[in-house]
Chains A and B, each alone.
Chain A
Amino acid sequence: MSDEPSKNVSAEEAPQKKVLLPDPRHLILSPSPHIQVGPGSGKIMLLVILCLVPALISSLLFFGLQALRVLVICTVSCAFFEFLWCVIAGRKSTLHDFSAVLTGILLGMNVSSLTPAWVCIAGSFVAVIIAKQVYGGLGQNPFNPAAVGRIAMLIGAAGPMTKFAVPRAVFFSPAADALTGATPLGAAGITAGMGKTLEYFNSSDFLWRAFVGEIGGSLGETSALALLIGGIALIALKVIRWHIPVAILGTVAIFVSLVNYFSPGTTPGVLFHLLTGGLMLGSFFMATDMVTSPVTVKGGIVYGIGIGILVCVIRIYGSYPEGMSFSIVLMNALVPLIDRFCYIRPFGYQNIKVNKIEPRRGEIK
């Protein structure tokens, strides 16, 4: 589209060649700033999805078409519920911000490839409608939708949710023992105290398996390698800050080392805990969800440490073998409080006490 020369202001003394001037009637009139940088909300969600691709590929590699089935059902039903809510609430469709699609993919990655379709659909309903839209949609939800969806599925359909497929043997020969059918974390929980099994879990053979992802578990959680690639890409693309994942992983490492030091034989080693279960997926992709994590860097570190401690406590002492989604949701509940106490001091307020908590005064008007 080219602007026609609207007028030539000083035509009487015009220079030889014609000078084009913009048409003031077509100008945009809005206050500063006039430029913007960085990706928009939708693009950020797309980048997160892009960084999940290595983990998606690994899940297809190890769990085959069953994994694809679960992922498609979760993604489509999440998108559908989002759309349905928008229609019922009489709002413009919010599908274009890709947050529902991302929730769907994360939810799919959080469950076993053997999960029945109805459980997936019910989980999607909880994730999108109950955990997100009821609060007012994107940006308003206090809890991570995918984590809430997964918890609902885990508690509501405990039977189907704890059946795990045996991963296809891609890189290693099939494991001889019967443990592959369950998640290593589950097995470690049951067999804790039996020195022999712990030895197996700390062996380099098993740890390599866990690193590559050839172990039982939820379909997107197993390959620590793929998740690390995606997580580092997320940090490199500046979609997330490194503080939260590092705080979580660091806390888990320290906590497990301490437990191993003071009461050896209670639980497998640090590497086992870092590489198995939902820890990688949770710390890079779910705990870092912007809406439900603290705003400041300082707050992010506190939040990460909290998640790390909770995960270890649930894994080692709790009755559930895995506690990533529980820890994330629990810490989500504390985010407003963390935000309140981890405030940065405004520039030039060194000696002035800021952000003191006062009883809420009445509205101005």
Chain B
Amino acid sequence: MTAAKIFRFKGGFHPEDHKKLSSEHEVKTLGLLPRYTVLLRQNVGAPPEVCVTKGDHVKKGSCIAQPASFVSVPLHSPVAGTVGDLLTVPGPNGSPVEAVEILSDGEDMQEWDDRLEPILDWRDTPANVLKKRILDAGITGMGGAAFPTHVKLSPPPEKPVDTLILNGAECEPYLTSDDVLMRSHARAILTGAAIAAKVLGVTEIFVGIEDNKKEAFNAMEQAAWGISSAAVTVVPLPVKYPQGGEKQLIYALTGRKVIVGALPMDVGCAVLNVGSCYAIWDAVLNGHPLVERITTVTGTPVVHPGNYRILMGTPLSAALEGAGGIRENSDVGKIIFGGPMMGFAQYSLEVPVSKNTSGILLLERSEVAQFYGGPCLSCGRCVEHCPMQLPVSTLSKACESERYDLAKENHVLACLECGVCSSVCPARRPNVQHFRKAKAELKELLQKEKNKKVGK
């Protein structure tokens, strides 16, 4: 394999990554709980419809909700047990959401539902059967947004995809779940990728891994040989947040730029997280639906930071208990689902782990950023570090004075919300928050205009 040319995107930064906290330890499995609350809506798109009723007996991996539309995935029970109530629990994004309660029944909790047969000869299986399996296993993107994987693998005929990109960058500080997965299951991940490549019919697979994960890189490179009929290239990427951003990753590996508002398929690429590829392997070769994931539980207050195999629906409190709880003299200021740059702060310990919970991060009160919004110094640090090369300081001031028209002119809609501009701001301005507000306002405005036109 010749070394691929790497395109460096402008901007970005590398904060202290704290990855050593969790990456050094072996992956542990959490003990089984008496009760799980499986979130109904774990994917982008329509939430699935519940297809079981209270009191039904389910096995591990039994389908408990059916997809409601094309952009939707089924949901499976993480353990064998009885279906409980349809509850409303605190959701990972801050608002209360619906969840199915599963009460496990003790001894045979680990017994798998065998409705999905393992497909051992996947190389000779037609692509649509494989795609059906990926849908049936309820696989979504496991990096962040939880976009249904089968949708990504179904590009419309007018937008042919020729490159499959595996996202192993894991540029968020603290998180190491992809790192340990690549170190321990490189072959499985690449088999999953080969299956996805077969479904897509692509001839080129790129695996992008940040340069600070040497061990994972070596493991993946070794496993890459002869695994797929497509050419597999494992590429070391510059260590720079947000290297794992979809647009930045595509640019780094192929030099193609996704224009604002377009999708990766517009430039002939499909991007899958390494966790999703592992899930594809598990679904096709073992017939196991996606009910479990590796999540990093980390942060200085955690007694045993590390990576844990966690079943979907495990409440945050149980995951923390599994990691030994918090240190006695710690003052936890924030609990975050995801990484410190783009994750969501939690207000309850009842929030269940879902398909895209890549990490549970606890920060000491002193480590938490406080954005008090001082006056902008026009120092240009935000502009220098913006991975989208936006005029952040101008935008931020425009949004602050509610000049959303100016914000739109300056391309606020292109913002990734990666958080770099806020993080580096000396005046501690909440830039990302301003842009979220502007985007929401502009969306509303657009909707209003549309309605007006319809009215006429």
Contacts and interface: CB of A to CB of B under 8 A. Distances in A.
Interface of A: 1-3, 9-10, 13, 15, 19-24, 26-41, 43-44, 97, 136-140, 241, 290-297, 300, 339, 343-350, 352, 354-355, 358, 361, 363-365
Contact of A363 (B10, B325, B347, B405): B405
B33 to A, nearest CB: 7
Contacts of A34: 334, 336, 340-341, 343, 345, 361, 363, 368-369
Nearest to B408: A364
B349 A9 contact: yes
Q: Which 5 A-B pairs have the closest CB atoms?
A: A33-B419, A139-B375, A19-B325, A22-B332, A290-B379
A343 B391 contact: yes
14 contacts: A10-B321, A27-B346, A28-B333, A30-B334, A33-B342, A35-B340, A36-B428, A37-B424, A41-B375, A44-B426, A138-B377, A345-B389, A346-B414, A355-B409
Interface of B: 9-10, 13, 15-16, 33-34, 94, 173, 247, 251, 257-260, 262, 301, 315, 317-318, 320-321, 324-336, 338, 340-349, 361-363, 365, 367-369, 371, 374-381, 383-384, 387-391, 393-394, 402-405, 409-411, 414, 417, 419-420, 422-428, 430, 432-433, 436, 441, 445
A346 B410 CA distance: 9
Contact of B317 (A9, A97, A295): A9
B422 A33 contact: yes
A346 B376 contact: no
B345 A13 contact: no
Contact of A32 (B10, B347, B384, B417): B417
Given A32-B338, A34-B336, A347-B251, 4 more contacts: A20-B327, A21-B320, A35-B173, A136-B375
A85 B165 CA distance: 58
B363 to A, nearest CB: 6
Contacts of B335: 22, 24, 27
Given A20-B325, A32-B343, A38 B369 contact: no
B443 to A, nearest CB: 13
B451 to A, nearest CB: 16
A13 B426 CA distance: 48
B390 A36 contact: no
Nearest to B18: A35
A68 B404 CA distance: 50
A36 B436 CA distance: 19
Contacts of B417: 32
Given A9-B321, A21-B320, A32-B344, A361 B332 contact: no
Q: Which secondary structure dominates chain A's binding surface?
A: loop
In this complex, which of B326, B362, B403, B436 has the most chain A Cβ atoms within 10 angstroms of its Cβ? B326
A30 B411 CA distance: 25
Nearest to B406: A360
Given A28-B333, A140-B375, A348-B414, A33 B388 contact: no
B377 A20 contact: no
Nearest to A136: B375
Given A19-B325, A290-B379, A291-B377, A32 B414 contact: no
Given A10-B321, A19-B321, A363-B403, A41 B426 contact: yes
A14 B243 CA distance: 41
A40 B428 contact: yes
Nearest to B418: A33
B149 to A, nearest CB: 24
Contacts of B342: 32-33
Given A3-B326, A33-B340, A35-B367, A290 B423 contact: no
A163 B105 CA distance: 94
Nearest to A23: B332
Contacts of B387: 347
Given A21-B349, A30-B345, A31-B345, A296 B380 contact: yes
Contacts of A352: 259
Contacts of A97: 374
Contacts of A41: 374-375, 377, 426-428
A9 to B, nearest CB: 4
Contact of A21 (B9, B326, B425, B441): B326
B189 to A, nearest CB: 27
A37 B369 CA distance: 9
A44 B374 CA distance: 13
Contacts of A19: 320-321, 324-325
Given A138-B375, A346-B414, A32 B432 contact: yes
Contacts of A348: 247, 257-260, 262, 388, 414
B341 A33 contact: yes
A339 B393 CA distance: 11
In this complex, which of A15, A21, A348, A350 has the most chain B Cβ atoms within 10 angstroms of its Cβ? A348
A139 B377 contact: yes
A41 B374 CA distance: 8
A140 to B, nearest CB: 7
B427 A40 contact: yes
Contact of B393 (A136, A295, A344, A361): A295
Given A35-B367, A349-B411, A344 B426 contact: no
A24 B348 contact: yes
Contacts of B423: 33, 35-37
